[in-house]
C-alpha cells in the first residue's frame, strides 16, 4: 500500500490536468481539428512474471526508464464522426547489473475512427470505433536485455465507449473492446509467432470541481487471452502480456481552444510485463477549419 499511496500522492502534485475526456467528447462538431501533444516519463525497477508475481530486475541492480513525447491528431469531417491518428517518440534505457543499453525512435502508430451513436439530448453518450496499430519500421528484437520500441506486430481493434455527466458534477466513462493481434517471425528466423489477442478496459470516475476543472480516478487494463509464457528475468518482448493500472487524472479547460492535462498511473497487477509508474503532462488545441 505504501507504493500505491506514494504514487497517487505524487501524481496529484506533478500533474496539471487530464484531457482524455476533451478528445472523447460525445458531440463531434464538424470541421474541427484537435491536436494534443504530451510528455511522459515511465520508470520500472520490477517485473511481473507469468504467475503475476513481481520481482526486482536483476536482483535490485537493474531498472528501466522511458521518456516519451506523444502526438495525437483528431479531425471531424462530418458531424458525429471523428478520425484520429496518434504515435509517440520515445527513448528507453535499461541500466543493468553489468551493462547499459538504450534505444530511441518512434513506436507504433495508431489510427482509426469513432462514431457517436447517441443523439444530442441523450442522457448517455455512446461511441463505436475501429482502430489499427502498426509498427513504424523499428526492430522488435535487438537482443537480450535491449529495450525495444514496440512488439512489432499489427493489431486490429474495435472499441465501444459509454459516458455520462450527472447534474452533481460527476462524470463516468467506460471503454472496452477487442484487440486482434498479428504474428511475426522471432529473431534469428523460424516460424511466425502469434501474439495474444487482448480485451482492453478503461474507466474514469470524475468530478467537476469547477465548470472547467475536472479530477478523476482512472483505470487502464489489458487482459491477454493466451496463457503467459514462463519468464525469470526482464523481458521487453512477450507475446502474452496483461496489466491493470490505477491512477489519477485531471483536466483544466482554459477556453474552447486550449486545455491542459496530466495523468499519473501505477501498475498494480500484471503478467509478463514491467511494473511501470507513469506520469504525463499534455496540452491540447482545437482548431476550426472551414465554415
Per-residue pLDDT tens over the stretch 103-140: 999 999 999 999 999 877 777 889 999 999 999 988 88
Residues in CB range of 187: below 8 A, 6 or more apart: 141, 143
The CATH T-level fold of domain 2-288 is Lipocalin (2.40.128)
Q: Residue 209: pLDDT above 80?
A: yes
- Percent of the chain at pLDDT > 90 equals 57
Nearest CA to 36 out of 52, 57, 20 is that of 20
Given a cut of 70, whether residue 180 has pLDDT beyond it is: yes
Residue 285 has pLDDT above 70, yes or no: yes
Among residues 191, 193, 201, 196, the alpha carbon closest in space to that of 180 is found at 196
Residue 20 has pLDDT above 60, yes or no: no
Residue 155 buriedness (CB in 10 A; 0-12 / 13-18 / 19+): buried
Q: pLDDT band at 23, cuts 50/70/90? A: very low
pLDDT at position 12? 33
Looking at per-residue pLDDT, the higher value among 188 and 267 belongs to 267
Amino acid at each position: 500500500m505504501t507504493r500505491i499511496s506514494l504514487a497517487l500522492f505524487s501524481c496529484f502534485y506533478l500533474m496539471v490536468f487530464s484531457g482524455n475526456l476533451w478528445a472523447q467528447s460525445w458531440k463531434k462538431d464538424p470541421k474541427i481539428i484537435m491536436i494534443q501533444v504530451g510528455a511522459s516519463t515511465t520508470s520500472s525497477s520490477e517485473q511481473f512474471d507469468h504467475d503475476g508475481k513481481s520481482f526486482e530486475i536483476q536482483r535490485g541492480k537493474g531498472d528501466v526508464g522511458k521518456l516519451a513525447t506523444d502526438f495525437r491528431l483528431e479531425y471531424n469531417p462530418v458531424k458525429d464522426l471523428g478520425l484520429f491518428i496518434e504515435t509517440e517518440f520515445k527513448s528507453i534505457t535499461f541500466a543493468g547489473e553489468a551493462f547499459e543499453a538504450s534505444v530511441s525512435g518512434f513506436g507504433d502508430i495508431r489510427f482509426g475512427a469513432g462514431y457517436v451513436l447517441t443523439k444530442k439530448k441523450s442522457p448517455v453518450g455512446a461511441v463505436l470505433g475501429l482502430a489499427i496499430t502498426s509498427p513504424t519500421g523499428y526492430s522488435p528484437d535487438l537482443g537480450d536485455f535491449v529495450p525495444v520500441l514496440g512488439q512489432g506486430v499489427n493489431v486490429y481493434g474495435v472499441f465501444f465507449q459509454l459516458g455520462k455527466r450527472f447534474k452533481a458534477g460527476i462524470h463516468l466513462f467506460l471503454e472496452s473492446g477487442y484487440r486482434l493481434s498479428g504474428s511475426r517471425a522471432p529473431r534469428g528466423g523460424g516460424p511466425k509467432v502469434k501474439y495474444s489477442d487482448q480485451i482492453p478496459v478503461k474507466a474514469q470516475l470524475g468530478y467537476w470541481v469547477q465548470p472547467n476543472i475536472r479530477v478523476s480516478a482512472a483505470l487502464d487494463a489489458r487482459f491477454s487471452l493466451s496463457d503467459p509464457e514462463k519468464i525469470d528475468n526482464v523481458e521487453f518482448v512477450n507475446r502474452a502480456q496483461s496489466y491493470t493500472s490505477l491512477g489519477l487524472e485531471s483536466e483544466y479547460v482554459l477556453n474552447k481552444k486550449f486545455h491542459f492535462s496530466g495523468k499519473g498511473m501505477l501498475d498494480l497487477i500484471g503478467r509478463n510485463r514491467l511494473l511501470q509508474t507513469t506520469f504525463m503532462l499534455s496540452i491540447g488545441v482545437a482548431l476550426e477549419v472551414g465554415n
